Chain A
Amino acid sequence: MLTRAICFDVSGLTKVYGMGTAEVRALRGVDVTIGEGELIVLLGPSGSGKSTLLNILGGLDSPTDGTVFFHGENMTAMTDRQLTRFRRENIGFVFQNYNLMPGLTARENVELVTEIATDPLPADEALDLVGLGERVNHFPSELSGGEQQRVAIARAIAKRPAVLFCDEPTGALDSKTSIKVLGALNRVTKEMGTTMLMVTHHQGIAPLADRVLHFRDGRIEKEIVNSERAAPEDIRL
């Protein structure tokens, strides 16, 4: 772990939503360093600030205070345009509710990204990686939840992102399907050396990670380092 190059360097990160009595402190000072190629699982009760951290690291939201460096570049100083470029070039997102374009087929959903990326995987190849080679011409409405989520993963990794953010990717899936989806995630990130941050409330997913960050009340309460990453087939959900 110590040999890895630093991907994100986060210090003193706070995020306050609203003002006055409606004020919500989502993050109350988070310091963390994330190495390249690491798989981090974020655990913690609902409302503890996991998604907020993910959104800030992914450039979807800005912190109230503190700094985030991405490969030595200060993200907090970026303009909206720069953040868009940052997302476009480096970041993949997978959300709990897939967020596919209903009007595009599986392949076209992936192509949506490959068209604007610099050195993408061919769309079919990305779909092969998540085990959907056969269903490239199907529309989201013709796919199961797990399949839709795998399309979302294919779409997220097709541009070979440096970092992949997954916010409860299996939250809407049953355990068998979840394992399939996690398998797909694990395989592609390993193959491409992608850094991955995954929010989940499943304890069972923790063994997949290099490191597990436990959140409580907007802070990292504890941090557990796994000696090695378990295979998705071996975990129990």
Chain B
Amino acid sequence: MIRFAAMQMFRPLNRKLLRDIIGMWGQVIAVSLVVACGVAVFVMMNGTLASLQNTLAAYYDRYAMADVWAPARRAPLQTLDTLSKIEGVRSVEGRISAAGVLDMPLEAEPVKARIISVPDGKAPAINRLYMKAGQLPARGLEQVVVADDFAEAHRLRIGDKVSATLYGVRRELTVSGIALAPEFIYSIAPGEMIPNARRYAIMWMGYEALAHAYNMDGAFNEAVLLLGPTARVPDVLGRVDTILDSFGGVGAYHRDDQLSDEFLQSEFTTLGTLGGMLPPIFLGVAAFLLNMVITRIVEHEREQIGLMKAFGYTSNAIVWHYLRFAGVIVGLGVLAGCYMGYSMGGGMASIYQDFYKFPELKFAPGSLIYVKAAGFAVLAAVLGVLLAVRKTISLQPAVAMAPPAPTDYSKIGRIAANARWMDQGLRLIVRHIVRWPGRSAFTCLGVAMGMAIMIGAQSSRDAMNRMIDMQFELVSRQDLTVVFTEKQNPAVLHELAAIRGVLASEPFLAASATISYGHKSRHQGITGVMQNAQLNVLLDQTDRVVNPAPRGITLSASLADAIGADLGDTVHVRFREGERKEVSQLVQKIVPTYLGTPAYMDVSAMQEIMQEGDRISGAYLMVDTRWLDEIYSLLKDMPAVAAVSTNQTSRHSMKETMDETMGTMTFFNSVFASLIAIGVVFSGARISFYERQREIASLRVLGFTVAEVNAVLLGELAVLTFLALPLGAFIGYQLALTINTEMSSELFRVPTVVSNWSFAYAASMILIASILSAAVIAQQVKKLDLVIALKTRE
């Protein structure tokens, strides 16, 4: 047995394999690296997604995440019995969910709070709390459990006091605990676009105390339901709505429509899409490179192949030899890639844990992901090798062995013959490129793809940045957004306009509603905006300002898509507040949007429908920034004002938020893309050195200096690299287009933009990689043993 193994070891092909690997280690490392990056991206992206999904599922399960939320105005607690009898409902809990305002010492602006009741004396059975510290509020006391992120942002500890305005009454609440909840993994203040732990608090208070504060004794305004496995969701929702209708039910909704879950799912979709697209592209580039390298090695060794066949080696044995060569490369790549992917994935997990509020998020995608990654890499390798050896293997031994005739340049050769200004070196460069159009194109394409994936990797970030810029430069041009506690008389607007430093003001009306078309519907707030608005506007496809339709409804393209409505269709609108009017509205306009799925109406038309007079929900203000602080404190003290947000802060924190998750992922991706690009460029340079050693040696023997030889060898690479730059930019743009189209979800219409910065970054990485490769090759030209190079036959 041992002897057999030893014999296996030293069979000539094994020895050749070993020597090839050692002799071409630079090449081996470069291609392995490229494979490793493809694998790493696969493991990181899909692993992060799998970890998130697994963690989410476990969290939901252990902490009894509700299936259905049913808000109402005020329903007696007895109603819960009726609800629990609905077929498919496993359990029900009623609670109070209330809005409040906090005055926090660390925050100049009033802080919005959502306060939710927990049963007195026991833990909630649905949407349970993960207690990080402290305990649930004691019965009857004005104690609160605060969300972990808010506690952290405001450095709150157990026993600290928080002053809050609940239902118009100022109260001092005592922090009894710090917690996380499965329904608030992602939380965002109403009317905001991104989470901001400093500006929005989730709190839990004992039922008795909260009911007392909001005058809700013996009642609830939100039921949460757990469903059994066989429950039919639409039926349950319908039954709940019927039961709660007389108590001001505003429409029950399933977990799919719950803000936190919906956001997570949309993030998962994005991750899944990116994870489904980038790794295959990366691995594709790796396969391409492997193919290029093996093809050229095989071509280079065609005589040896002929010889081996003449000695009686089968074609299969020879294919197997190259497959093993590729196998070693891929094996190294897979090992390194899994490790890199695992490390980066760990990094991503801790970032996501910060961003989302999971009790614990570990990078634990399960071993299948590594197996899959390895499988894909091996598949790519096998494909790359088989395509490479196919042609040479089928050659007759005699043909393969015949010393190759000098490459025939005669067909294309006269090229540049008459250009006297060219020296022979330049002529060699031009002719070599033209003589091997396939090879040159391949090298060029390889480099271009390296560049393209860098652009592609950056593009999601570019797109996000663009969306934010669009939003704040073109759409939300106001400096401040003021939201009233309750709808106010338009006279308040004059009050606001009269504040020193306020340059312009515009009212808006906002109401939550359900918009449906056919059997598709969505909970979506409708914003009533002014005609000829200047501060917060609608845009058309060409970013020109348009007015909302004076009658009927204006939908965002994303919303129209979501419910399947088109221009001229009639949608059903059910307001979920105030008089809860139901109306049919003609879709008069569809406008593109970059964020969310908004719907708009003309403000007066909307007031008419809602029949609440000419009251407004808030105002957009343009201010002289010198007065900003004073305006702030003035607004904060106005009893009608619930929240003030500045565009600058929003924009800043929006970008910051994006940079945290998407930005990091993009960063990792573009690191990998850059490594791949470097690998491709280096391999291209290395292989052409390998092929042309003899020519290089001849030139050196003729007395050409190292620099002169390099000018010929590297000149060609330089030409191909420069050709690759525009090509790479083009392919990169197409790639960005594909990725962004794929990524455009219901919530985000992703514009395809590739920033100049991304182009410049990708191009410079290519140039740097080329220069580094050139430096390595130049060293090798210098070290080339002329005698040996000339002795070995081509």
Q: Which residues of A contact B (CB under 8 A)?
A: 51, 55, 58, 60-61, 80-81, 84-85, 87-89, 91, 93, 95, 97, 99-105, 108-109, 111-113, 115-116, 137-142, 148, 155, 159
- Contacts A60-B786, A88-B702, A88-B703 supplied; 7 other A-B pairs, CB < 8 Å: A84-B705, A87-B701, A103-B435, A141-B406, A141-B408, A142-B410, A159-B703
In the complex formed, the residue of B with least CB distance to A138 is B410
A100–B424 CB distance below 8 A: no
In the complex formed, the residue of A with least CB distance to B794 is A97
Across the A-B interface, give the 10 residue pairs with the lowest CB-CB distance, nearest first: A88-B703, A140-B406, A102-B406, A103-B431, A141-B408, A102-B407, A87-B703, A99-B698, A112-B424, A141-B406
Contact of A103 with B705 at beta-carbon distance under 8 Å, contacts A61-B787, A139-B413 already known: no
A113–B703 CB distance below 8 A: yes
A84–B706 CB distance below 8 A: yes
- The CA of A109 and the CA of B417, in the complex, are separated in Å by 12
A148–B787 CB distance below 8 A: no
Neighbouring B residues of A116 by C-beta, 8 Å = 702-704, 708
B703–A137 CB distance below 8 A: no
Q: Which residues of B contact A (CB under 8 A)?
A: 405-410, 413, 417, 423-424, 427-428, 431-432, 435, 694-695, 697-706, 708, 782, 786-787, 790, 793
In the complex formed, the residue of A with least CB distance to B709 is A84
Neighbouring A residues of B409 by C-beta, 8 Å = 102-104, 139-141
Q: Interface of chain B, helix or strand or loop or mixed?
A: helix
8 Å CB contact of A104 from B431, B701, B708, B793: B431
Neighbouring B residues of A139 by C-beta, 8 Å = 406, 408-410, 413
8 Å CB contact of A103 from B423, B432, B704, B790: B432
Q: List 11 A-B contacts (CB under 8 A).
A: A89-B703, A101-B428, A102-B409, A103-B413, A108-B427, A112-B424, A113-B702, A113-B703, A138-B410, A141-B407, A142-B410
Neighbouring B residues of A104 by C-beta, 8 Å = 409, 424, 427-428, 431
8 Å CB contact of A99 from B413, B423, B424, B694: B694
Neighbouring B residues of A85 by C-beta, 8 Å = 703
- The CA of A100 and the CA of B427, in the complex, are separated in Å by 14
8 Å CB contact of B701 from A60, A97, A102: A60
8 Å CB contact of B413 from A88, A89, A105: A105
**What is the CB-to-nearest-CB distance from A116 to chain B, in angstroms, rounded to a whole number?**
6
B417–A137 CB distance below 8 A: yes
**What is the CB-to-nearest-CB distance from B568 to chain A, in angstroms, rounded to a whole number?**
67
Neighbouring A residues of B706 by C-beta, 8 Å = 80, 84
**What is the CB-to-nearest-CB distance from A85 to chain B, in angstroms, rounded to a whole number?**
8
B428–A103 CB distance below 8 A: yes
**What is the CB-to-nearest-CB distance from B740 to chain A, in angstroms, rounded to a whole number?**
44
- The CA of A88 and the CA of B702, in the complex, are separated in Å by 6
8 Å CB contact of A80 from B410, B424, B699, B782: B782
**What is the CB-to-nearest-CB distance from B781 to chain A, in angstroms, rounded to a whole number?**
11
- The CA of A102 and the CA of B403, in the complex, are separated in Å by 14
8 Å CB contact of A105 from B417, B423, B702, B703: B417
B406–A100 CB distance below 8 A: yes
Neighbouring A residues of B793 by C-beta, 8 Å = 97
**What is the CB-to-nearest-CB distance from A129 to chain B, in angstroms, rounded to a whole number?**
18
A148–B406 CB distance below 8 A: yes
- The CA of A105 and the CA of B701, in the complex, are separated in Å by 19
Contact of A101 with B695 at beta-carbon distance under 8 Å, contacts A60-B787, A141-B410, A148-B406 already known: yes
